[in-house]
Structure 1
Amino acid sequence: MMSEYTDEKFVPEKNRYAETLSEFIKCKTISDERFFDKTEFDKFLSFIKGRFPLVFEKGEYKDFNGGIMIKIDGKSHDEPLVLMSHYDVVQENGKWSFDAWSGKVENGVVYGRGAVDTKGSLAAIFESVESLLNEGFAFSNDLYIISSSREEIAGADVPDMVKYLADNGVKPKLVIDEGGGIVDPPVPGVSGKCAMIGMIERSSARVVVEFTNKDGKNAAANMAEFIEKTQKKVFGRRDFGPVNTAMFNAMKPKMNGAMKFVFSNLCVFKPLLIKLLPKVNKSAASLLGATVAFVTPSDKENLDLPSNAIRIVARISGNYYNKIDDLVDEFTAFAKEFGAETKVVSKRETPAPEPLDSDGFRFVKNVAECVFPGVTVAPFCVLGGTDARHFIGKSQSVIRFAPIYMNNQQFSSFHNKDENISVDSVADAVRFYREAIKRFNNTTK
């Protein structure tokens, strides 16, 4: 595997990238049916066709009910590379300090919904491919650009694309989707930025919980007590598992003395860490075991609600050593102790993890270390779900990594208010995708 950076002469066009992402954000591509506006999706598609003429001239474009698939032909069709990032977004929420759909560019930062999730990385994918085509780059392998218009609502466009590829005998060598990123130290006691490479996703379930005023029981009081005790309860079991263990091992060189001592003797300290880490870091609870979060039911989930009842929705998230069926059963039994009735709306099991020694992980790790020198590259478990899961078993490797640096505020703006990203981060992502494409086409025969 090449270790030298091959793209020294490339000069990023930062002003252009800022304009591209700004226009992406101005397209209000909300996939939630309550706010869906097809004209906004059409506006986005019209913009990219004009913005990236070579991609659409040289590539074969297919529309999957708004989902985008573009194939750039290479000399070989056997082991293509797939670059993914969705272009639908969630509705703005909370009180923003700026217009969520303005796409404002100020002081080297692009502001608006989708900047982080995931129009920033999608802009970088398109810009990288357009620039390589403009240079006359010869692709030795096919390249696919895939972008969902329904990722936020677990829509059918990417599953349909995966089926289309499989039906036509296409099995990618590597899929790179969103899920990971470049962040400030994710745990205390670690110094420097970390490039988090997603190897596995969490399982999930959505359960409607209903409380009723009957037999002298107060529904609101029961719900409040149930929520409070659920937040304190541990469902399933907590453990490090191979991915989390590998993550902390990768970070050990950047740990302070005490942290390094503890994680160098994990067999001794593991039971204590499993108890303490979730108390000092909210993300640790998600890394080590199952979590339950409560949200307001949708209009559909509140249909036929009895006048003497109230409902809340539980979002259960697990990992690969807690089966989602077992977690749902345990949660349902616990809810019944408070007189609640439950209904499972949806559930999804954890897909198979990417092997820690896979060619795909090594490839992405090497590119990240080259493009982002000094950054610690670590495997990790993605805390949410991505479209990448549909490629499990249909691609040789499936990696979840958007090469975008996010500071703590930007990271917290994911599905939250005041979403923004720096233009420099987008430029670095362009460099990453260019380097990945060039290396892939030089090393894959």
Structure 2
Amino acid sequence: MARRRTIFLGGLAVVAVVAGAVAVRTATFAPKDIADGSDVRLAAVPSYDLDAAVAHLSAAAQIPTISHQDPADNDVAQWDRLHTWLAATYPAVHGAMTRTVLPNRTLIYHWPGSDAALAPIIVMAHQDVVPVTPGTEGEWKYPPFSGQIAEQAVWGRGTVDDKGSLIGLFEALEALANAGFQPKRGIYLVSGHDEEAGGSGAIAAAAKLKADGVKAIFTIDEGSLVLTDTPVINGPAIMIGIAEKGYATLKVTANAPGGHSSMPPAETGVQTLAQAILDISDDPFPYEVRGPGASMLEALAAAKGGTTRMAVANQWLFGPLLKRQIAAVPSTAAAFHTTIAPTMLEGSPKENVLPQTASALINYRIAPWNRSADIMARAKSAVGDAKVELSWVKPPREPSRVSSTSSQGWKWIAAAARADAPGAVLSPILVVAGTDSRSMEPVSEDVYRFMPMHFSLKESAMIHGTNEHMRVDSFKRMIDFYARLVATAAG
């Protein structure tokens, strides 16, 4: 009896210690090293004509700078048309900044600063847009390249991705130049011509900047936004991208004798391929609460409070439960592991012919803590001694480095973003897609991915989709943000 009582009391003591530890960690929990920019004195936004700016975005949307999968299908005259239109529409910018047009039609603008000792800033937005999916043109409320101004928005392909940013930047810079702004810190505007088809333009621009000895204090490009219904907090959050995932496509090939489908062998090449795909897909990378995803979770949990704060503050105890909740939402889960997505299959050219070669493409988006070598090793382990060949379609793009959330560049961006979203939670985020900004790493201390548009999760689905449109209020926020940021950082 005494022994049972001792065990019971010992159990109570353990529970008390655990509960005490949980309570203390929860009470003292705070996001690590995320500066709020409250010590930044923001510059004022110069005056500009919003109606004219909206008309300019409409006009830019009517220039179909479409990046096709095969660059040979691109109408390069449309890029020249856009360049001519920019020069005519923004005379003050073209008077204050030198313009370099690379042979591939990527643009580099430079506004020299008065103090050469100060590191410059780089602002980015790309010129090209994705095609409209064939057969969906009739589903658009307004023709996709009409630039229609209606319902307090500008409608058309590229109004959000990424001509909204491009024209927002030009409007901000034009307003600053007209107001007599003279930067102390140099300003570079880089606009890639083919972000939607690989980003070779940004690579070339970065090479030129490096050759010119440029080392910027920060770069800002597209990538994330102000999400009005952010998971965890169910409210607005300023989501600033501090890194982006890598990209790789694995080709799995099964070779077989082929022959007539009326006399199939015990296992065809297609069956071998199918099993290999399943084996690779059924061995996913584990969820890991680390890197930018963990920073995001900490920021949101601290704002949410309650049991969410308790779980994130005490991952030593609630880690498995937290990972199960993360895995339940694909859009959130992608920030916490390397994803595996079989996307394309190729086999026989005819239904009654056994293919001699069957192949599949598997697309990976690589988490910051993994590398392409990890993917290849895992895939080889998964297929074992199966008669398949594994190869890369093209050299993988490794994940970007992770930028600081306490640097001066971060503080400037955070302060400029909070000016139009004062009640929103400030959070870093991992960008799961790709941007041109990754190419600026050799010429920039930090690289950030953020546009100040206010979107819900549902609204974000229109990017690359049907009925893409930029609301006038979001466009105004973009112009104001860029004007504040540039004037504050470069002034």
TM-score, length basis structure 1: 0.89
| CA distance in structure 2 between the partners assigned to 1:409 and 1:35 by the alignment | 32
Question: Relative to structure 1, is the Cα distance of residues 168 and 295 closer, same or farther in structure 2, using a 3 angstrom cutoff?
Answer: same
Look up the match of 2:74: 36
Aligned to 2:131: 91
Matched, 1:7 2:44: yes
- The question of whether the paired residues in 2 share the 8 Å contact of 1:70 and 1:144 is answered with yes
| Equivalent position amino acid for 1:354 in 2 | S
CA distance in 1, matches of 2:467, 2:360: 27
RMSD over equivalenced CA pairs, Å? 2.5
Q: 2:114 aligns with which of 75, 81, 85?
A: 75
Q: Indicate yes or no: 2:86 matched with 1:48.
A: yes
Kindly indicate whether residue 87 of structure 2 is the aligned counterpart of residue 63 of structure 1: no
Match of 2:217 in 1: 173
- Post-superposition Cα deviations, 1:258-299, rounded to whole Å, max 9, x if no partner, equal 323322323322232223311x2112321110102233479x
C-alpha distance in structure 1 between counterparts of 2:455 and 2:132, whole Å: 19
C-alpha contact 2:42 2:488 (8 A) present in aligned 1: no
Instruction: Decide whether the 8 Å contact of 1:410 with 1:421 is kept in 2.
Output: no
**How big is the shift at 1:441?**
2.7
For 1:338 and 1:225, locate their aligned partners in 2 and report how far apart those are by CA, in whole Å. Answer: 9
2:44 alignment partner AA: D
The 1-side partners of 2:63 and 2:341 are apart by: 30
Distance 1:416 1:333 in 2: 37
Aligned length: 431
1:220-256 superposed Cα distances (whole Å, 9 cap, x missing partner): 5555565566555313x32111422221222234426
Distance between the aligned counterparts of 1:271 and 1:316, measured in 2?
Answer: 24
- Give aligned-pair identity as a percent: 23
Work out the CA distance in 1 between the residues paired with 2:454 and 2:271.
44
Q: 5 Å matches for 1:282-293?
A: 282-293=330-341
CA radius of gyration, larger in: 2
Matches within 5 A, 1:96-135: 96=137, 97-98=139-140, 99-135=143-179
Alignment correspondent of 1:354: 403
Tell me what 1:302 maps to. Answer: none
Which amino acid letter does the alignment assign opposite residue 177 of structure 2? L
The separation in 2 between residues aligned to 1:391 and 1:27, in whole angstroms, is 27
Name 2:204's counterpart in structure 1.
160
User: Is 1:372 equivalent to 2:412 in the alignment?
Assistant: no
1:21 counterpart = 2:57? yes
Aligned mates of 2:454, 2:290 — CA distance in 1: 26
Matched residues in 2 for 1:35 and 1:410: separation?
30
1:431 and 2:460 equivalent? no
User: 2:248, 2:363 within 8 Å by CA — same for their partners in 1?
Assistant: yes
**Is the 1:67–1:157 Cα contact (8 Å) retained in structure 2?**
yes
* Secondary structure of 1:115's aligned partner: coil
Instruction: Using the TM superposition, give the Cα deviation of residue 143 of structure 1 relative to its aligned residue in structure 2, in angstroms.
Output: 0.9
What's 2:23 paired with? none
Q: State the one-letter code of the partner of 1:7.
A: A
Q: Does 1:151 align with 2:195?
A: yes
Give, in whole Å, the separation in 2 of the partners of 1:297 and 1:148.
31
What TM-score, normalized to structure 2?
A: 0.81
From the superposition, tell whether residues 16 and 430 of structure 1 become closer, same or farther in structure 2 (CA, over 3 Å): same
* 3-state SS in 2 of match to 1:325: helix
| Structure-1 residue corresponding to 2:11 | none
- Give 1:211 deviation, angstroms: 4.2
- Structure 1 residue identity aligned to 2:405: L
Counterpart CA distance in 2 for 1:29 and 1:308 is: 40
Q: Partner of 2:239 in structure 1?
A: 196
- Note closer, same or farther for the CA distance 1:310–1:27 as it changes in structure 2 (3 Å cut): farther
The 2-side partners of 1:248 and 1:377 are apart by 11
Residues 281-320 of structure 1 correspond to what in structure 2 (within 5 A)?
Answer: 281-296=329-344, 307-320=355-368
User: Partners in 1 of 2:428 and 2:147 — Cα distance?
Assistant: 32
Report the CA distance between 1:92 and its aligned residue: 1.8
Change (3 A) 1:74 1:13: same
- 8 Å CA contact 2:149–2:155 kept in 1: the answer is yes
In the alignment, structure 1 segments of 5+ residues that lack a partner are 299-305
